[in-house]
Structure 1
Amino acid sequence: MKLRKIVTLTEDLHREGERPVDPVARTAVVLAVIENPWAGRGYVADLLPVIDEVAPELGALLAPRVAEALGAPIEAYGKAAIVGLDGEIEHGSGLIHTLKFGDHFRKVAEATTLLPAVEKRAPAGVVFDIPLKHVTDATIRSHHQTVEARVPDAPRPDEIVVGLAAAAQGRPLARLAPLSSEQ
């Protein structure tokens, strides 16, 4: 893995609308900007050898960093891969849609659910939303939320931005009825 940089974003929300948020709602995102290991190689039929090499390294790098940045127990989580214009969406998907990547985050978060994800191909500086869901029950509506992220100079055409996001709580001032109330 050729790592160019790591970007860490945190947000502490104190007010939602006209109401105070207590306790303060904290989210954290950690993004790794890496060289796309398939860029410039044309169509690669078998992505698995590189996935097996790079995905575990990325998961091990990012999971503890996002937990540390959050500084609180993780209640909601998600992941992202944004591929530069010379790559394929499948390149980002291959890196994040494997247990070799996601299990690092599940272990740190003490989670049991699948990680929601966003993946797309885009130019440097694109704004993207990372979806979050509850770490043990994806039906808990209060934890369905998104975190916005952006790296101004990434991904370059031959790069991939891979990231993890976490929240210490559900949406601020959440008040929707449980999903079970509609069944």
Structure 2
Amino acid sequence: MNYRKLVTIIEETNTEGGRQVDPAARVVIVAAVFDNPWAGQGFVEDLTEGIDKVASDLGALLAPRVIEALGAPLEAYGKAAIVGLDGEIEHGSALIHTLKFGNHFRDAANATTLLPAVEKRGPAGVQFDIPLKHFTDATIRSHHQSIEVKIADAPHAGEILIALAGSTQGRPQQRLASLSTEL
């Protein structure tokens, strides 16, 4: 997997609502920025070749880095595909919405739920939010959250930025009742 840039962001929340968060809530984002495999080809009807060349290697690159940087068991996760202005949103979607990519993260985290995702096209430095949900039960409300990301020089017009995010817990100080109380 050839990439121009690999970025790891670690956010730790120690206080929320005026109270200590113990243990601190940790969220990790690992993003790779690389050339769009379909750049300069015009409209590509079948994206399979690019998916086969990139998706699995990308998942294998990013997933273990998220798990390692968390330093504790993962409880929530998500993904993002941000395509530079010369690409199509479908290019990013093709890479992250395949088991060839996502199973690397699910396997590394012993997860069973689908990864929530954001896809977007934008210029270098575009801000985006990665949605996170519980890794084994998407109905657990405490883990529905998002993390804002911005990488100043990515993606370039002919690049794609793919990111995985993981959290060691749900929202700090969450106190919503279980979804089952409303059913």
- The interval holding the TM-score normalised by the smaller chain is over 0.9
Q: Is the 8 A contact 2:17 2:173 kept in 1?
A: no
- How many residues are paired up? 183
* 1:73-84 paired onto structure 2 within 5 Å: 73-84=73-84
Q: CA deviation at 1:81?
A: 0.4
1:131 corresponds to which residue?
131
Q: CA deviation at 1:3?
A: 0.7
CA distance in 2, matches of 1:135, 1:158: 32
2:104 corresponds to which residue?
104
CA distance in 1, matches of 2:71, 2:52: 30
CA distance in 2, matches of 1:71, 1:88: 35
Q: C-alpha deviations, 1:3-35, integer Å up to 9, x for none?
A: 101000001101113111111100100000010
Q: C-alpha deviations, 1:28-87, integer Å up to 9, x for none?
A: 000000100111110000001110120000000000001111111000000000000000
CA distance in 1, matches of 2:99, 2:48: 13
2:156 corresponds to which residue?
156
Please identify runs of 4+ aligned residues in structure 1 that moved more than 2 A. none
1:44 corresponds to which residue?
44
Q: Secondary structure at the match of 1:3?
A: coil
1:23 corresponds to which residue?
23
Identical counterparts, % of pairs:
69
Q: CA deviation at 1:149?
A: 1.1
After TM superposition, the structure 1 stretch with the greater mean CA deviation from structure 2, 84-93 or 20-29, is: 20-29
CA distance in 1, matches of 2:95, 2:45: 15
TM-score, length-normalised on structure 2? 0.98
Q: C-alpha deviations, 1:65-121, integer Å up to 9, x for none?
A: 011111110000000000000000000000000000000000001000000000110
2:35 corresponds to which residue?
35
TM-score, length-normalised on structure 1? 0.98
Gaps (5+ residues) in structure 1? none
What is the identity, as a one-letter code, of the residue corresponding to 1:132? Answer: L
